[in-house]
Structure 1
Amino acid sequence: MSKPRSVIRRVLLASLASALAATAVYSALDLGSEAEAAATLPPTHAKFDYQIGGAYTPPSGVQVVTRDRTAAPAAGLYNICYVNAFQVQPGEQGSWASDLLLRDAQGNLVIDEDWGEPLLDLRTADKRTRVAAKVNGWIDQCASKGYKAIEPDNYDSYERSKNLLTKAQAKAYLTLLATHAHSKNLAIAQKNTVELAADRQSVGLDFAVAEECGQYDECGDYVDHFGNNVIVIEYTDAGRQKACSGFGSTLTIVQRDVDVSTPGSAGYVRKTC
């Protein structure tokens, strides 16, 4: 399972008015289609736990949980399904068609070296459609399990692509996923990539999941585009304190250990404002 890229990734928020409620219905005005109008957003300023490193019983009072797509959702809570949508999980390379893995001019796989993940090739409309078909199958599984939203990771893979991928290709591909998620009545997040926050409506993104926006003074940028529909994950005490100081009364904020480990693990951390 992919772990958070705390230093590399960023998330963005957009300024929908803070009047957007926890149960707000995704508007057909944002998507341009009445058929895509039934997704429920996560509650704002909620107690949250980030469990992509392994599922466990949520702490008391938690309202929103993110878990990996392979896990079952937590009963009675708002569940977000984590999907590594732009890169390939370690050990899963063989499950992808070879031509959908990004290669450089020498034919070598382009790898996210920090996490050992090959990048997916999004350079043509045909390849984006084929990659999306596979990932949309995972989204269908999330929906059938009872998840309410999707967190597609590595929107910013173009930054690690040796200049082979572009922002426009990332947006075109994510639009395919967003359209499909909405057809399943699922909300969909923008994960980090603050520089693309202004495009969230044209892509079809409902809320933001921002790693270390407190640490890097970016939480306000997310709010500018997503209002209070922002989930903040910090990995240091200093980052959590900054996020809580500026946004603790409005945003959903949690501090986890960078390995997002389970309780009982030596490095397990979970703190809130």
Structure 2
Amino acid sequence: MRSRVRSARRLTALAAVAAAAVTVPLVAVDQAGAAPAAHHSAARHSAASGTRSAQAAGVTLPPAHAGFDYQIGGAYTPPAGVQVVSRDHDDPPAAGLYNICYVNAFQVQPGAEGDWDADLLLHDANGNVVYDQSWGEALLDVSTAAKRTRIAAKVGTWIDQCAAKGYQAIEPDNYDSYSRSKKLLTSAEAEAYIGLLSAHAHGQGLAIAQKNTVELAGDRTAAGLDFAIAEECGTYNECDGYTGAFGNHVIVIEYTAKGLTKACTGWGGQLSIVRRDRDVVPAGSPGYVRKTC
């Protein structure tokens, strides 16, 4: 299947993320293609104020503390009580719900290297393509402004497809690919690139999520990110890092019973939380799991 859960992505938060502004500006990009520096001392706003700001910018955030289902492994009829669904960009949105469109924005789907210009794949000093070994996915080379622009143009066509299908938001995966790049990429380059995607998504009237990568949550305003999708933040004690930056606009996916219990105990009254099986298979398939608080 084209999309798979990124449950193996794990980074320890560098520090508790300070509460940041919950506004949704279109990110500015300097002449070198870098996103502006984050201002962690920006005025604090409530989640409600963040929703108003998002609407003023022309995008609508997913409702906070809403029933959520994670369907990136294949679409199926959402269970009763679900208001928000995330699906792969190849699938249609669920009628009558808030729909988030998944795209693999920083890495290449297994076997799809030929779909990209060779110089847009990250190469090491020996000329070998750098892979995410856990998933067999080549990393995209976001190290220069010119390459970021070209990569964003291709991913932008997927964002356009999401908008045309009726999705309300984008989930760009593998924001943390720099951490698997053998130090060939930096977090600043990842932020500069995601700023391009944010601007494109906002131009289409779509909200855009920060996927994982809690250590960059404090930069969400500069990066133009509107809400967060956090895998196993309960398991890894990272949920407060996301809520410090995004308020209650955080969607949590856990993959174990213990993780779900921890997330629900700490955040069940505030956040959208679901447990899914690690392969995120459709309902009715062997191994399917879906539980909530």
Above 0.5 in TM-score?
Answer: yes
Give a deviation string over 1:111-136, Cα, whole Å, max 9, x none: 01111100001111000000000001
TM-score under structure 1 length normalisation: 0.93
CA spacing shift, 1:173–1:19, aligned 2, 3 Å: closer
Question: In structure 2, the residue corresponding to 1:156 is in which secondary structure?
Answer: helix
| 1:107 matches 2:117 | no
Q: 2:175, 2:212 within 8 Å by CA — same for their partners in 1?
A: yes
Partner of 1:8: 9
Return closer, same or farther for 1:149/1:77 CA change in 2, 3 Å cut-off: same
Q: Which runs of 5+ in 1 are unaligned?
A: 29-36
Specify whether residues 27 and 147 from structure 1 end up closer, same or farther in structure 2 by C-alpha distance, changes over 3 A only: closer
Cα separation, 1, equivalents of 2:90 and 2:208:
17
Contact 2:260 2:275 in 1 (8 A): yes
- Alpha-carbon distance in 2 for matches of 1:98, 1:72: 30
Match of residue 162 from structure 1:
182
Q: CA deviation at 1:5?
A: 2.6
What is the aligned partner in structure 2 of residue 71 from structure 1? Answer: 91
Per the alignment, residue 222 of structure 1 pairs with 242
Distance in 1 between residues matched to 2:122 and 2:152, nearest whole Å: 15
TM-score by length of 2: 0.87
Match of 1:42 in 2: 62
Assess if the C-alpha contact under 8 Å between 1:45 and 1:252 holds in 2.
yes
Structure 1 pair 226–14 and aligned structure 2 pair: CA distance change class (3 A): farther
Mapped to 2, the partners of 1:23 and 1:200 lie a distance apart of 15
SS at match of 1:232: strand
Q: Distance in 2 between matches of 1:25 and 1:9?
A: 31
* Amino acid aligned to 1:112: D
1:85 aligns with 2:105: yes
**Structure 1 counterpart SS, 2:228:** strand
* Structure 1 pair 14–251 and aligned structure 2 pair: CA distance change class (3 A): farther
* Identity rate, percent: 66
Matching residue of 1:271: 291
- Matched with 2:36 is none
260-269 or 118-127: bigger deviation: 260-269
- State the alpha-carbon separation in 2 of the partners of residues 133 and 122 from structure 1: 12
Cα 1:8–1:70 change in 2 (3 A) is: same
Rounded to whole Å, the distance in 1 between the matches of 2:125 and 2:196 is 27
SS at match of 1:258: coil
Moved more, 67-76 or 1-10: 1-10
- Tell me if 1:250 matches 2:270: yes
Q: What RMSD, in angstroms, separates the aligned Cα atoms of the two structures? A: 1.8
Kindly indicate whether the alpha-carbon contact (under 8 Å) linking 1:24 and 1:41 is maintained by their aligned counterparts in 2.
no
Aligned-partner SS, 2:103: strand
Question: Quick one: which of 130, 141, 144 aligns to 1:121?
Answer: 141
**Shift of the alpha carbon at 1:82?**
0.2
Q: Is the 8 A contact 1:88 1:118 kept in 2?
A: yes
| Equivalent position amino acid for 1:3 in 2 | R
> CA distance change for structure 1 residues 78 and 24 in 2, over 3 Å: closer, same or farther?
farther
- Partner SS, residue 40 of structure 1: coil
Unaligned runs of 5+ in 2: 23-44
SS across alignment from 2:77: coil
- Give the Cα separation in 1 of the matches to 2:165 and 2:71: 16
Q: CA deviation at 1:61?
A: 1.4
In structure 2, do the counterparts of structure 1 residues 173 and 112 end up closer, same or farther at CA, with 3 Å as the change threshold?
same
Structure 1 pair 205/98, CA: closer, same or farther in 2 (3 Å)?
same
Whether the aligned pair in 1 keeps the contact of 2:4 and 2:72 (CA below 8 Å) is yes
SS at match of 2:189: helix
| 2:147 counterpart of 1:146 | no
Q: Deviations over 1:40-79 (max 9, x none)?
A: 0000000000000000000011100000000000000000
Please tell me whether the aligned partners of residues 13 and 197 of structure 1 are also in contact (alpha carbons under 8 angstroms).
no
Task: Report the counterpart of residue 260 of structure 2 in structure 1.
Answer: 240
Find the aligned partners of 1:119 and 1:59 in 2 and give their Cα distance: 35
Q: Number of paired residues?
A: 265
Displacement of 1:264 in angstroms is 1.7
Match of 1:20 in 2: 48
